[in-house]
Amino acid sequence: MPNPVNTRIPDDDRRELPLMQIWVDADACPRVIKEILFRAAERRRIVVTLIANRTLAKPTSPYIRSLRVAGGFDVADAEIVKRLNPGDLVVTADIPLAAEVLAKGGHALSPRGELYSGDTIRARLTMRDFMETLRASGIQSEGPAALSQADRQSFASHLDRLLTRHAAGKKP
């Protein structure tokens, strides 16, 4: 029996495109971003899979799936990388995961609307490591700001552009 996560959902009369799926690092993904993804999944008929180490609420839809993984450091990240195919999109705020996704030929988009690229990921990894070093040495830093309306709009805009380019058969 084929793995239902990798099953192509027909696009009626449209020409067949390479399968593109959206994988969500869902443990820390804001609810409002998941809701944007759920609407896009229905509208575009594209599979969105939430991966988390806990059970998540999701609407009933053939396009929206969830996968619960064991708890532990980076278990969900490893599962995403394992299942990822080139051209797939991963929604994550995790910079090391985004780097792995890009290295594997996927696309990575943060919940704040930052589309990671090969040109920017090294700088983001360096900054992340620097901030981690500061925190480890006892220097306090503030956490990220609350998700703003501009962040939501940026996310929705980048998502729409990626999905539109994919539907047109162009490289996103």
What is the reported pLDDT for 131? 66
> Is there a contact between 167 and 44 (Cβ–Cβ < 8 Å)?
yes
**Under 8 Å between Cβ of 113 and 154:** yes
- The pLDDT score that the predictor gives to residue 15 is 43
Q: What domains can be seen in the chain, in order of their start residue?
A: 17-138+159-167 (3.40.50)
C-alpha torsion 104→35→114→128, nearest 10? -80
Do residues 90 and 81 lie in contact, with contact meaning Cβ atoms separated by under 8 Å?
A: no
pLDDT value, residue 18: 55
Q: What is the DSSP string of 94-160?
A: -HHHHHHHHHTT-EEE-TTS-EE-HHHHHHHHHHHHHHHHHHHTT-----PPPPPHHHHHHHHHHHH
pLDDT tens-digit profile, the chain (172 residues): 344 444 444 444 344 445 799 999 998 899 999 999 999 999 999 999 999 999 999 999 999 999 999 988 889 999 999 999 999 999 999 999 999 999 999 999 999 999 999 888 777 766 666 667 766 777 776 667 789 999 999 999 999 999 999 888 766 5
Q: What is the pLDDT of residue 58?
A: 94
Of 55, 19, 61, 13, whose CA–CA distance to 41 is shortest? 61
The partner residues of 105 in beta bridges, in order of sequence, read none
